[in-house]
Amino acid sequence: MDNFTFYAPTYFVFGKATENETGKYVKRFGGSKVLIHYGGGSVVRTGLLDRVKKSLEAENLGYVELGGVRPNPRSGLVYEGIRLCRKEKVDFILAVGGGSTIDSAKAIAAGVPYDGDFWDYYQGRVVEEALPLGTVITISAAGSEGSADSVITKEEGMYKRGATGEALRPKFTIMNPALTQTLPPYQTACGITDILAHLYERYLTNTKDVECTDRMIEGLMLTMLHEGPRVMENPDNYEARANIMWAGMMAHNNSCGVGRSQDWTSHDIEHELSAMYDCAHGAGLAVVMPAVFTYNLKHDVLRLAQLAVRVWGCQMDFGNPERTAKEGIEALRRFLISIGMPKNFGELGAQEKDIEKMAHSCCYGDGRTGTTGGYVSLNQQDVENIYRLML
Ligand code: NZQ
Ligand code: ZN
């Protein structure tokens, strides 16, 4: 196991009706004037925004609002949010919504105290200072509610990039699984896919002897394989949604990623797709993951074969472990199709003619230096080959 430090001090408040306590937690973590940030309107339609505002008012907290975050959140609204916070002397950011809203809120939180352009953080500068931030999540997917990361798309050039820094971890996160019951099935499935992807990105490691985190990842994957179909079958299944919500947070706050190298190839390759076609991140991952795993299969056949046996229930073929590893990838592909995810470029709305451009952006765009991938180092030609496997 590699040396590591791990500090993830988010205060989680889990369960039914917990959103009514939001104001109490804003106060507890030092907020007095709040920016409420939200998305395209689901939180207005469900009445959640009103309940959250009421809880702030009950604590005599002032607030301003900024809605309109879109999936694959854009830099333009971040600049607007930073200006608004400075003008209104906001001292606490509250994200009410999904990963896109949380990521936009994190970008604003980092941008307000920073003299330079907030985009510097999305080009590799570590976020060391940010306004405190809390979240009320409405979809189990990105894991941003517990992560130290944020992903934003810069409108100029359409670069989708991530920033990181402990200062971005939410002070608190309100998790009421019932809030996810209003999700369209497609978004629920995208979330399930993203959670599985966060687990695969960590499982694919070059670090030896990481049994503890291997087993944690496998346990979370098995949870998703059990609960995912249950929630697709019955969207009102609170218990299944509760298990998925906690698994989604655990998959990405990095408790199962410490002490080991990680991959993130599938995410890098997917981010080019969602930047280019504005597709849902989870849907893009459903198409990308089987292609990446197939392309990298020979790097460490036993790792994927182990996963195939322990998670996908495949029989180990000791004479030909590559066959077992491939069976595991096929089982993943079948699972993703069964929950309604796209399986190729066409179904995603992607086009062959854009492959070279996306591969170039993935390896060289916005200051990158020519390769991607923490598990296997891939160049532009490799990335093009992987996109071609998705046709
Ligand atoms: O905008 P509204 O109207 O709220 O609608 C949203 C949106 O259209 C809707 N929705 C969310 N909760 C709902 C709901 N509709 C009805 N009822 C509810 N309860 O769902 C749609 C998708 O929302 P979004 O926030 O985009 O979803 P998600 O949480 O999947 O976030 C995706 C973004 O997170 C990034 C992705 O790249 C993508 O930009 N990621 C962030 C990470 C992080 N910060 O750590 C890691 C991830 O790997 C990921 O890359
Ligand atoms: Zn993701």
**Span 232-256, pLDDT tens digits:** 999 999 999 999 999 999 999 999 9
Distances 198 to 98, 144, 193, 266, 282 between C-alpha atoms, Å: 16, 11, 9, 9, 11
- What is the average pLDDT across 355-366? 96
- What is the average pLDDT across 73-86? 98
Q: Which two tokens stand for residue 207?
A: 């670090």
How many CA atoms lie within 13 Å of 255's alpha carbon, on the beta-carbon side?
Answer: 15
Report helix, strand or coil for 66. strand
Distances 302 to 81, 310, 321, 330 between C-alpha atoms, Å: 48, 12, 7, 16
Where are the alpha helices (H) located in 92-210, listed in sequence order?
99-111, 185-203
Q: Which atom of ligand 1 is nearest to the CA of 48?
A: 19
- How many Å lie between the centroid of ligand 2 and the Cα of residue 281? 7
- CB neighbours of residue 248 within 10 Å: 31
Are the C-beta atoms of 261 and 205 separated by less than 8 Å? yes
- How many Å lie between the centroid of ligand 2 and the Cα of residue 193? 8
Q: Is the pLDDT of residue 93 over 90?
A: yes
- What is the average pLDDT across 268-281? 97
Residue percentage of the chain with pLDDT more than 70: 100
DSSP conformation class of 317: -
Q: Which pLDDT belongs to residue 378?
A: 98
Q: Which pLDDT belongs to residue 316?
A: 98
- What is the average pLDDT across 190-214? 98
Q: Is the pLDDT of residue 49 over 90?
A: yes
CA angle 69, 165, 37 (to 5 degrees): 20
Phi, psi of 33 (to 5 degrees): -130, 120
Q: Is the pLDDT of residue 103 over 90?
A: yes
Question: Is 185's C-beta closer than 6 angstroms to any atom of ligand 1?
Answer: no
Torsion of CA 69, 75, 76, 79, to 10 degrees: 100
* Beta-ladder partners of 35: 64, 93
**Span 128-165, pLDDT tens digits:** 999 999 999 999 999 999 999 999 999 999 999 999 99
Question: Is 248's C-beta closer than 6 angstroms to any atom of ligand 1?
Answer: no
Q: Looking up tokens 């060391």, which residue turns up? A: 128
Q: Looking up tokens 């906001």, which residue turns up? A: 90
What does 3-15 look like in DSSP terms, one character per residue? --------EEEES
Give the residue with greater pLDDT, 367 vs 279.
279
- What is the average pLDDT across 189-193? 98
Q: Which pLDDT belongs to residue 8?
A: 95
pLDDT category of residue 79 using cuts at 50, 70 and 90: very high
- What is the average pLDDT across 261-281? 97
Q: Which residues contact 206 (CB under 8 A, 6 or more apart)?
A: 261, 300, 375
User: pTM, whole model, 2 decimals?
Assistant: 0.98
Radius of gyration of the chain (CA): 20
Q: Looking up tokens 């307000």, which residue turns up? A: 112
pLDDT category of residue 367 using cuts at 50, 70 and 90: confident
Cα–Cα dist 335/189, whole Å: 11
Question: Is 380's C-beta closer than 6 angstroms to any atom of ligand 1?
Answer: no
**Mode of pairing for the β-strands spanning 33-38 and 62-66:** parallel
**Span 5-19, pLDDT tens digits:** 999 999 999 999 999
Average pLDDT, the chain: 97
- How many Å lie between the centroid of ligand 1 and the Cα of residue 301? 33
Q: Which pLDDT belongs to residue 330?
A: 98
Q: Which two tokens stand for residue 4?
A: 């590591």
**Mode of pairing for the β-strands spanning 133-137 and 172-175:** parallel
- How many Å lie between the centroid of ligand 2 and the Cα of residue 320? 32
What does 141-187 look like in DSSP terms, one character per residue? SS-TTT-SEEEEEETTTTEEEEEE-GGGS-SEEEE-GGGGGGS-HHH
